[in-house]
A = this chain, B = another copy of it.
Amino acid sequence: MGDDIKRVGRELIHKGAIIDVYTDHMEFSNGHHADWDFIHHDGAAAVVPVLPDGRIIMVRQFRNALERETLEIPAGKLDASDEPGVACASRELEEETGYRSDKLEWLITLRTTVAFCDEKIEIYVAENLVPSRQHLDEDEFVDVKAYTLDELKEKIYSGEIQDSKTVAALLAYEVKYLRR
C-alpha cells in the first residue's frame, strides 16, 4: 500500500506562527500524479488533571478557528519539537490551572488530523494535584473550573464538548481507570 503511493517532491508554501504549510507532489502506482497538502506542527501535550474527589480540571478559552469559546483539558505545544511530552504537560498544567502534580502517567497518543497534518499530542493523567500558581502567557486568557466525569460525558454526548483531544482523553481515562 505504501508502494501504491509515493511522494516525489515537497515544496514549502508558507511558514506560519505554529505551523508550516507544504505542497507534496505524489505519484501513484496507476501512473497518476496529484498535489497533496501537508501541514507540519511541532507537537503538543495535554493532561487530564484529576482532583482527589474525582473531579477533572478543565479550561475554557476563546478559539479563533471556531469563533467561539471551548471547554478543553489543559494543553499546549512543545517548546521545541524534542521537548519530552511529560515536561510540556507538567508545565501547561501548572501554567493554565495553577496546580502541580508529581504523578503524571501516559494515557494515549493522538494524531489530530492524519489526512494532512503530522501534529502529535501526548496525553497524560495527572493525580496528586497540589495548588500552585497560575501564570498564563501574556496573550492567553483562560477560565479554570472542575467538573465531574458524568458532567463532562453529558457534554460530549450532547455535542457541547467537541475538541478531539478532550473527547478522546476523557473517555480514555474513564475506560482505563474507572471501568476495569
Contacts and interface: CB of A to CB of B under 8 A. Distances in A.
Interface of A: 1-2, 4-5, 7, 13-14, 16-19, 21, 23-24, 26, 28-30, 32, 34-39, 41, 60-66, 68-70, 72, 77, 108-121, 138-139, 141-143, 153, 156-157, 159, 162-165, 167-168, 171-172, 174-176, 179
Nearest to A21: B21
Given A63-B114, A111-B66, A172-B171, A17 B1 contact: no
Given A14-B21, A162-B111, A117 B1 contact: no
By Cβ-Cβ distance, the 3 closest A-B pairs, closest first, are: A171-B171, A16-B37, A112-B113
A173 to B, nearest CB: 10
A111 B157 contact: no
A172 B143 contact: no
Contacts of A61: 1
A143 B2 CA distance: 12
A114 B19 contact: no
A144 to B, nearest CB: 12
Given A65-B115, A108-B157, A171-B172, 9 more contacts: A21-B21, A30-B138, A38-B64, A41-B113, A63-B114, A70-B111, A108-B167, A117-B117, A164-B165
Given A30-B138, A164-B110, A118 B36 contact: no
B171 A111 contact: no
Contacts of A111: 66, 70, 162-164
B30 A17 contact: no
A167 to B, nearest CB: 4
A58 to B, nearest CB: 14
